[in-house]
A = this chain, B = another copy of it.
Amino acid sequence: MANSASGDSVVDRVVRLIEAFPEGVPSLQLSELAHRAGLPLSSTHRLVRQLSEHGLLDLGAGGTVRLGLRLWELVNRNSPTLALRQAAMPFMEDIQQVLNQNVNLAVLDGWEALFVERLSRRGSVANRAQIAGRMPVHISSAGLALMSHQSRELQAEYLEQFADPFGKVTADVVRHYLAEASQQGYAQLAGVVDPDTWGIAVPVMNGKRRTVAALGVVVPLAEMRLQALVPALQTAARGIGRQLAD
C-alpha cells in the first residue's frame, strides 16, 4: 500500500475526501476540499480526477467537486439498510396512515441513533429526501429505545464514557432513562429540535430477539396519547421483526 509523506495510505486519503463534505453541503471547490481533507492540493486534484473517472466523485468544469452519481447508485442499490427498510416500510406507512404522525426508523451506530428512513405526516412537507441524520443516544427516544435493549456490557461501556457536552445531563440520569425504557418497553423524550413535540420509540427485534432498530414517532405535545401510540408502534415493530431473520 502506498503511503504519502505523512504516512497515510491511499485508502485513508480516499476516505478523507469522501468524509470532507460537511452534512448537507453537496459540493465543494477543489481547494476547499483539499483544505477540509487536510491534503495537499496537488494530490487532492490527482485523487479527485481518478475517482471522477469511476464516477465516485464528480469534478465539474469550475473545479467544483461533488459525490458522484455512480457512487450514490452503487451505495443505494446495495444499501446495507435495504433489507431493514424494505421490511419496515409497509408498517411505517400503516403508522403514518393510522396515526398521521411523522414516523422514523433508526439503527444504533456507535453511541448514536442513525436515522435510516423517515415518513412525514400527511400535509407536512417535512423533507423525506433528507435521511441519514444522527442523534446522540441520550437526547433521542430512538437512541434510548435502542440502547436500553442492548447487552448489559454495552450499556455499561456506553455509560462509562458518557459525557454531555453541554454538562446538563449526567450518566446517572441517562442510566435512569435506560432502565425506564427497558422496563416499559418504549422510550419517550421531549423534542430537542422542537420542545413542543415528543418522541416515542420502541425497539424492533429480529428473529433472534436481538434489537436491530427503533421505530418511532414525533408527536406534537397536544396530540400525545401514549395509550394509543405505544401499542400501535409495538404491533408494527413486531410485524417488522417477523420479516427479519437475523
Most B Cβ at <10 Å: residue of A51, A89, A117: A89
CB contacts under 8 Å to B, within A51-84, are 51, 54, 56, 58, 66-83
Q: Taking the complex as formed, is A85 at the interface, i.e. its CB lies under 8 A from any CB of chain B?
A: yes
| Complex copy number for this chain | 2
Whether A24 touches B77, Cβ cut-off 8 Å, given contacts A10-B1, A50-B11, is yes
Q: In the complex the two chains form, what is the Cα distance from A18 to B63 in whole Å? A: 25
Q: Are A75 and B78 within 8 A (Cβ)?
A: no
Whether A26 touches B125, Cβ cut-off 8 Å, given contacts A10-B11, A14-B14, A21-B74, is no
Whether A129 touches B117, Cβ cut-off 8 Å, given contacts A11-B54, A23-B77, is yes
Most B Cβ at <10 Å: residue of A77, A127, A128: A77
Q: In the complex the two chains form, what is the Cα distance from A44 to B125 in whole Å? A: 44
Q: Which of B2, B74, B89, B132 contacts A127 (CB 8 A)?
A: B89
Residues of B within 8 A of A51 (CB): 11, 15
Q: Are B72 and A1 within 8 A (Cβ)?
A: no
Q: Size class of A's contact patch?
A: 35 or more
Chief secondary structure at chain A's binding surface: mixed
Q: Taking the complex as formed, is A231 at the interface, i.e. its CB lies under 8 A from any CB of chain B?
A: no
Q: Which of B75, B93, B127 contacts A86 (CB 8 A)?
A: B127
Residues of B within 8 A of A15 (CB): 51, 54, 56
Smallest CB-CB A-B distances: 3 pairs = A2-B2, A76-B132, A85-B129
Residues in chain A within 8 A of chain B (CB atoms):
1-2, 9-12, 14-15, 18-19, 21, 23-26, 46-47, 50-51, 54, 56, 58, 66-83, 85-86, 89-90, 93, 107, 109, 114, 116-117, 125, 127-134
A sample of 17 inter-chain contacts (CB < 8 A) reads A1-B46, A1-B50, A11-B50, A12-B54, A15-B56, A21-B74, A21-B78, A23-B78, A67-B79, A69-B107, A69-B114, A72-B75, A73-B132, A75-B76, A76-B131, A82-B130, A90-B125
